[in-house]
């Protein structure tokens, strides 16, 4: 069964809009786990506009499921994850000015750099996932980095799914099947929600993990976090 990791960046965004500790990011993460989340994801950015460095250290002490830290592997980011030693690091090619992640790595171009980073993280006993677009050649090069997994960027899937669900699945099938063929673990994330999630994991049941933040936190405003996690978990049962 595909595991659900809850990205709690948006909770930190709300807290930071007023200062203080409301809502309490650490307590929220603990409640997500209590209600059934199988992992917690954070994506600290240099400007700390949502998750702060101190949050990452605090969460490491509290998270009892899998802890996934996403980010661009700058010197500062790599120093942070070396201190924290999360379960997984997801390498994302973010520009600091990006509002949100909107593309995967050109792994072919950055192959040597990514190989070195993957080797370094493996020496720290951290599982490594590389954020990629649904492209077969890119998946093949991701395998060459030595990474344990890829995370398919599912923004285009979500956009197309609204108009043509089957076409959205077909767009991702070659890359997803190539990852499975190569023995690469496969995660997925970005714009997955209660409408499009079940179809994705049904089509690609080898999906190891989905990381969901914006949609899930938005749903929680209406349903409450306990019911929301329950509903997302139900969608992941093939």
Which residues have a Cβ under 8 Å from the Cβ of 33 and sit 6 or more positions away? 40, 63, 64, 65
Cα(111)–Cα(113) distance, integer angstroms: 6
3-state secondary structure string across 100-164: CCCCCCCCCCCHHHHHHHHHHHHHCCCEEEEEECCCHHHHHHHHHHCCCEEEEECHHHHHHHCCC
Of the residues 33, 70, 151, 209, which is catalytic?
A: 70
Give φ, ψ of 153 to 5 degrees.
-75, 115
Of the residues 50, 66, 151, 190, which is catalytic?
A: 190
Give φ, ψ of 26 to 5 degrees.
-65, -45
5 membership: H or E segment, kind and range: strand 3-7
Catalytic residue status for 120: no
Catalytic residue status for 70: yes
In Å, how far are 59, 140, 141, 231 from 211, measured between CA atoms?
17, 22, 23, 15
Q: Please check whether residue 117 is in contact with residue 148, taking contact to mean a CB–CB distance below 8 angstroms.
A: no
Q: Please check whether residue 1 is in contact with residue 236, taking contact to mean a CB–CB distance below 8 angstroms.
A: yes
Of the residues 43, 50, 66, 209, which is catalytic?
A: 43
Cα(73)–Cα(83) distance, integer angstroms: 14
Catalytic sites, residue numbers = 43, 70, 190
């Amino acid at each position: 069964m595909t595991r659900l990791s809850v990205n709690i960046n948006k909770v930190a965004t709300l807290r930071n809009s007023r200062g203080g500790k409301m809502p309490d990011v650490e307590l929220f993460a603990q409640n997500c786990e209590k209600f059934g989340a199988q992992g917690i994801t954070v994506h600290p950015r240099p400007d700390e506009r949502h998750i702060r460095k101190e949050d990452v250290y605090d969460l490491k002490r509290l998270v009892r499921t899998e802890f996934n830290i996403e980010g661009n592997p700058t010197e500062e980011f790599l120093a942070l994850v070396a201190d924290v030693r999360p379960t997984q690091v997801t390498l994302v090619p973010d520009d600091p000015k990006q509002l949100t992640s909107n593309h995967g790595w050109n792994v072919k171009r950055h192959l040597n750099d990514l190989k070195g980073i993957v080797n370094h993280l493996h020496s720290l006993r951290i599982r490594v996932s590389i954020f990629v677009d649904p492209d077969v050649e890119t998946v093949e090069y991701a395998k060459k980095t030595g990474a344990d997994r890829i995370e398919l960027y599912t923004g285009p899937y979500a956009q197309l799914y609204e108009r043509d669900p089957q076409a959205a699945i077909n767009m991702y099938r070659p890359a997803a099947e190539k990852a499975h063929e190569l023995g690469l673990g496969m995660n997925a994330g970005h714009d997955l929600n209660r409408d499009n999630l079940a179809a994705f994991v049904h089509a690609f049941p080898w999906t190891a993990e989905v990381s969901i933040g914006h949609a899930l936190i938005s749903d929680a405003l209406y349903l409450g976090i306990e019911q929301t996690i329950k509903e997302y978990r139900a969608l992941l049962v093939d």
